[in-house]
Amino acid sequence: MPGLLTPSNDTSSSIIPYSSDSTTPTVYTLNHNLKPPTTPRLSISWSRGNSLRVTVFRSPVTTDNEPGGKVVELNLSGEDVDSDIEINNAARWRRIVYGSVSPFAHLQNKKNALAALDEFRRSVSHDGDWSKYVLQYSKEINSLLGSKKSSPTPLIEDPKTVLKVEEPSSLKAAWELLEIFYADKQSHPWIPEQLVDWLSDYDVLFSGQVPSVHLKLVEFQAELINIQEVENEPTYWQAISSALAVGWLDIVVKLLRLHGSYQLNQLGTRETENGLVEAVAVLVSKMPRMRADLPLGKLGECYNNKSDFMRAWEKWRAQITKLDCSAFWLQCSHNQTKENLKNLLQILLGNTSTVSSATCHWVELYIAHFLYIRPFTSGLESMYVLAQKCIQLKPISTPHKLMRLILGILEENTEVVLAECSRSFGPWMIAHATELLTAGSVEAEILLKEERDNLGGISIEESHRLVYAQVLSSHALTWQIAPIYLISCMKHGVGLLEILLYKQPAYHSQVLLKNIEICRMYDLDSVSSTAMKIAGVHHWKHGRKGAGVFWLQQARDEVRLNRIAQKLFDFVGKSISDESFEQWEGLIELLGSESKTVGGLEFLHKYRDFKKSLQQVQDGVFTDAARKAGEALILLMKNPSTPQRFWLPLLYDSLKLLNWRERPLLNVSQTNMLLNKLQELSVARLRPDFVEAGLPPEALSSVRVALATNLGRAILEE
Amino acid sequence: MEPEPQTTQTNLHILPQSSYIDSLRFLPPISAFSRHIAVASFNSDTSIPSLTLHSLTTTPTLTPITSFTPSSRITSLKTTQSLIAASTVTGSVHILFPNLINGTFESEVNVPDNVLHSGRVSGLDVLESGGECVSVGEDGRVNVISVGEDGRVDYRKVFDGKGLVSFTAVKWASQMEFVTGGFGNCVQWWDVRRAGGPVSQFKGNWAQGATSGIIHSIDIHPSRKHTCLAGGSYGTVFAWDLRRPQQPIVLSGIDNGETAACISESDVWEVHYDTFMSASDHAKLSSKGVLPAMICSEDGILAVLKQGEEPTELLAENCAINCFDIDPHNPSDVICGLEWESIALLTRA
């Protein structure tokens, strides 16, 4: 697999991460009574999903109930994938799998439709229409990964609730990063602001591994209930400056208004102090921001045009500087308030060291740079340089997977991005993210779509889809989805689809019907007819003759139907002359009368008709019925599909017809034909493979006599 | 006469579950605001089948109340005023008596594997009045199970096809008669008073040359006991009138140049007469025609078919719709079991 085997420092010896402490593997014992010596054997095979089955087979050392072998089932999965709670939950994970089918298939259809047009050249990625489709695809997938902050705001908001507790998924965080950089071309001028939003949604994800502003705020919120005068607490001011540094302006303003000077009983004595706090709060909430719009509840003033923004930015900074130099500070008696407010102004003015001490890890520092120091940064190259600078200021020994992904994107290194997606987020992510990557740049598109000899002639894109399809195939509820991904693989897709379909248990009726349906959709007639044959033989072997015949008929399997016919005739010979005719009705009805599809079985249909009319003759004396029965007999005897072994029983059954009292029912030529058949039968009897019908010994002679008599009467009549 | 619009205003809610839905049924309501449904599901992670009672609120949400573990996966599920009957792939039949006020199963009767059928019981139906339950299987057996007031069960074999035929669906027509369906689009009419075989049978081979199919589901309207509605492979839906046994009325499917529309080319998994009707529908009803029928299909379609009219599509999903049920007391509401582990609740306006 491409890009998967990157050696990492921590797990240098294992290719697939396997932590033995996560779950105890299932162990089955094998008991056998084979006598030694038996050669010990070891076999390894894939079980369902990511489970690997290791079987050890050996002879017991002692005989006291020691098992002769063991089967161990190990669950292998990527460490990161496994540790994610949201992925661990299989049902929730399948919901994502199901939901992504439609956007993926829709995008492939669009791609094929565009490819069919002549105008569609290699410049797909620059086509406006195409990027619109890709963005739509990205948004649809994104919405599957979790709702975007849609939790309803409580009617009475608790003034002391600073943060809402939510658990976003790192998968969604990663997908949004890819969307920002590769899919959402329209919003490219606002990438820095998009990253600000991104961090405010997902900073919580870093908390598990490194200290973060989010963590700081959560801790402060827990303390808040017990604090009487917040402005005296250093943690209060730290929380405010950290929130300000990463641009969570609404939180900053909310916290500032908890300041003691707002309390009614203190307003008179702390008027200047309160004025300063409010001035800072207003400045914060008026911060100019270069973006199209702001979601409800977020603060700042939007400018979507660079020159307007620049003017507003300069004006805003001038106001800050003015406040910084104001004489009111001297009148402020509360020392902590004075110092910390000044500190906040330093952040707003972009003081590098203040910003650095207010943030926790390099991504936060990076965001702070965008907000207060270099709001005009654009272009991936300069963004990458800035990121490097931030990492130097706040180094991390083992970077978080999202940090690695951000760096890969900024570095414009598609291979790193691919490897990160694959390593941290698994086959689903990479199979779906390639669509965004190829839309992102021509280089990435060439890299992903180029056919490679080391991958067996397929492209990286195809190989990832095949891997994902393989994952889908291994689960009973998702294998039906795999064909949609396989069919989008030009080189090996159809071949693997056929293998997948052949591997399904065709004897399971629901699976068989699903199989046939998939074959119908992708024109795989030979595969479905094979499945029907397997099902037919299975049913036949298990005594369900009707179902067996039905499926073999559907598969138009003449050879097997003919073989089956011979076996059925054995049954018929024994049972149909009994009164158990009703049982056969259903099967004979199923066979129908068309000779083409049923092999030799059409005989049964005619035989049934003959038997019916013969029965009517026996019930009463009706010459008309007898004449019909005679005709049916001639038809049967003439028909080449009537097996030879039935000739004598048929004639013996119709003795009554041959000896019909009122008049001969058969004419001369008909009687001659029957006599010839009888002659043929006598010759055939000499052959060793002849099957004797279980009739009384005088049967042949009595038929012969009856025919001879009939011949005589017929000649006289004519 | 102005043309009838073919759209129906609907309100759809998809409720994700965490197991595969095999079948679902509405239960009789205990009050105007409290509705319950029975869901047969299969958890493929643990390989445990279950039959769960859910209460359905107007929000809408489904809340599991109580659950029962059948011996294996449920193939067919039926509910009446007093009981829930379920058949399984391994040949057992379970009859449960729910108490919706307490949210429990009061008692249960189980007929173990291989007593009634060897192998898969493919169809099951209970008389609306309770008591008699008919089951059919791939082994070709037809059994009638009587459930007494005291919870005692008694069963008798009506027919043993010995595997020469297989049945795939069954539905009571009256106290004494029922209809079965099987391979080759065969439909059989039975009378429990007449042993030994079906009273009448019909083979749907109008699709000459084309491949023949399997009947997956049968419904019979209580007011028209002589006509049965059947749905099966290749989008086939037809009505079979016992009084005109050789002339089926094809509502959908590959037909010999007839005018029936083909709503789907995939398997039709379930058919029910649609009891939800507007005033104009009532006016158009004649005693001759086939009543409106609702179907669900492998290619994700839930639709209403009316004789001689274009079908009305209610849902077009990306995955198969395996089963559905119309609320008998509030026929505007339909629940569907979707292949992708979810239940859809549809309300028609």
> C-alpha B285: how far from its chain's center?
23
Between CA B268 and CA B164 the distance in angstroms is: 25
Interchain contact, A546 vs B203, CB within 8 Å: no
Q: Report the candidate in A479, A481, A542 with the shortest Cα–Cα distance to residue A507.
A: A542
Read off the pLDDT of each residue in A452-478 and give the average, rounded to a whole number: 90
The reported pLDDT for the residue numbered B281 is: 67
Q: What is the percentage of chain B residues whose pLDDT exceeds 90?
A: 51
- Structural domains in chain B, CATH included, are 6-348 (2.130.10.10)
- Mean pLDDT over all residues of chain B? 87
Question: What torsion, rounded to 10 degrees, do the Cα atoms B271, B274, B275, B278 define?
Answer: 180
Interchain contact, B140 vs A90, CB within 8 Å: no
Handedness of CA A288, A292, A293, A294 (dihedral sign): negative
Question: Confidence class of residue B64 from pLDDT cuts 50, 70 and 90?
Answer: very high
Cβ proximity of B181 and B215 under 8 Å = yes
Closest CA of chain A from B216, distance in Å: 11
The reported pLDDT for the residue numbered A291 is: 87
Which 3 state secondary structure label does DSSP give A404? helix
**Residue in chain B lying closest to A518 (CA):** B266
Question: A-chain residues within 8 Å CB-CB of B197?
Answer: 582-583, 585
Question: A-chain residues within 8 Å CB-CB of B194?
Answer: none
Interchain contact, B267 vs A583, CB within 8 Å: no
Q: Report the candidate in A508, A515, A468 with the shortest Cα–Cα distance to residue A488.
A: A468
Surface of B (82-141) touching A: CB under 8 A: 119-120, 138-140
Between CA A685 and CA B12 the distance in angstroms is: 73
What element of type H or E holds B342?
Answer: strand B342-348
- Token output for A602: 């059409």
Question: A-chain residues within 8 Å CB-CB of B164?
Answer: 545-546, 583-584, 586-587
Question: B-chain residues within 8 Å CB-CB of A589?
Answer: 184, 186, 201, 203
The reported pLDDT for the residue numbered B285 is: 65
What element of type H or E holds A105?
Answer: helix A90-116
- Token output for A505: 């248990």
Which 3 state secondary structure label does DSSP give A451? coil
Q: Tell me, yes or no, if A570 comes closer than 8 A to chain B by beta carbon.
A: no
Q: Residue A545 is nearest to which of B45, B164, B319, comparing CB atoms?
A: B164
- Token output for A555: 């598969």
pLDDT at A123 over 60: no
Between CA A549 and CA A563 the distance in angstroms is: 11
Which amino acid, one-letter code, is at A39?
T
Mutate to test the interface with B, among A97, A108, A583 (most CBs of B within 10 A): A583
Between CA B182 and CA A446 the distance in angstroms is: 55
The reported pLDDT for the residue numbered A304 is: 83
Q: What is the predicted ipTM?
A: 0.92
Closest CA of chain A from B337, distance in Å: 14
Read off the pLDDT of each residue in B145-156 and give the average, rounded to a whole number: 83
pLDDT at A84 over 60: no
Q: Which residue has the tokens 């129906």?
A: B8
The reported pLDDT for the residue numbered A49 is: 57
Read off the pLDDT of each residue in A188-214 and give the average, rounded to a whole number: 90
- Mean pLDDT over all residues of chain A? 82
Least confident of A396-410, A580-594, A666-680: A580-594
Give pLDDT tens digits for B245-289.
888 888 888 655 555 677 888 999 999 999 887 666 666 666 667
Q: Report the candidate in A19, A2, A79, A101 with the shortest Cα–Cα distance to residue A472.
A: A101
Interchain contact, B164 vs A95, CB within 8 Å: no
Question: A-chain residues within 8 Å CB-CB of B210?
Answer: none
pLDDT at A437 over 70: yes
pLDDT at A566 over 80: no
Q: Tell me, yes or no, if B20 comes closer than 8 A to chain A by beta carbon.
A: yes
Between CA A28 and CA A25 the distance in angstroms is: 10
Q: Residue A94 is nearest to which of B164, B299, B341, comparing CB atoms?
A: B341
Closest CA of chain A from B349, distance in Å: 28
Name beta bridge partners: A420.
none
**Residue in chain B lying closest to A103 (CA):** B318
Q: Which residue has the tokens 């449904």?
A: B37
Cβ proximity of A172 and A142 under 8 Å = yes
Surface of B (282-311) touching A: CB under 8 A: 298-299
Give pLDDT tens digits for A311-366.
999 999 999 999 999 888 888 888 889 999 999 999 999 999 999 999 999 999 99
Q: In sequence order, what are the residues at sequence separation of 6 or more whose Cβ sits closer than 8 angstroms to the Cβ of residue B79?
A: B25, B26, B27, B28, B38, B85, B126
Interchain contact, A583 vs B164, CB within 8 Å: yes
Q: How far is CA A597 from CA B214, B274, B329, in A?
A: 17, 37, 47
Write the DSSP assignment of B286-321 as a string of letters: -SSSPPPEEEEETTSEEEEE-TTSPPEEEEE-SS-E
Between CA A276 and CA A324 the distance in angstroms is: 10
Cβ proximity of A484 and A454 under 8 Å = no
Counting every residue written for chain A, the total comes to 718
Closest CA of chain A from B182, distance in Å: 9
pLDDT at B45 over 60: yes
Question: A-chain residues within 8 Å CB-CB of B23?
Answer: none
